Amino acid sequence: MKIVIANDHAAVDLKMEIKEYIESLGHEVINIGTDSDESCNYPEYGEKAANMVSAGVVDLGVLICGTGVGISLAANKVKGIRCGVCSDTATARLIRAHNDANMISFGARIVGAELAKDIVKAFLDTEFMGGRHATRVAMISDIENRQ
Ligand code: RB5
């Protein structure tokens, strides 16, 4: 798959480790930064990555900031984006299986590198189950379309 990865200044080191890890799993990774420790604004990176997912330029997206929350909030403002913040592998698996999440987010100040790798692998290895879950995901899209 083609995966976009984005982060703010709080997550540069973890981003590089996760980027290499995703590549080692056989996926193509597009890194849109930041690659600098200089303070920046996570909404810019969340929006840019989310636009790539929404436009179908990539299959899925991985976002990292200090907590994972700010950058996911920004991404979820983009139409068609379903991004979940995960600090465990079960949630990472279930947001794909049940919620058809197309982006995942986690915090560099919250999870260690090994757990982050397991979280990303669980997310990338899981497929959407469809069925009754598709009805619920469609209801989420309806909310978006009514705004
Ligand atoms: C940056 O200091 C920090 O606020 C950001 O990385 C993130 O945690 C926001 O949600």
32-61 pLDDT tens trace: 999 999 999 999 999 999 999 999 999 999
Determine whether 27 is an active site residue.
no
* C-beta of 10 in contact with ligand 1 (< 6 A): yes
Average pLDDT over residues 97-125: 98
Average pLDDT over residues 75-98: 98
- The pTM of the full predicted model, rounded to 2 decimals, is 0.98
pLDDT at residue number 71? 98
Strand ranges (E), the chain: 2-7, 28-31, 60-65, 83-85, 103-107
Phi, psi of 91, rounded to the nearest 5 degrees: -65, -40
For 31, phi then psi, to 5°, come to -95, 115
CB-based contact 124:1 (threshold 8 Å): yes
Our answer on whether the CB atom of 8 is closer than 6 Å to any ligand 1 atom is yes
- Annotation marks residue 65 as catalytic: yes
| pLDDT band at residue 82 under the 50/70/90 scheme | very high
pLDDT tens for 120-143 read 999 999 999 999 999 999 999 999
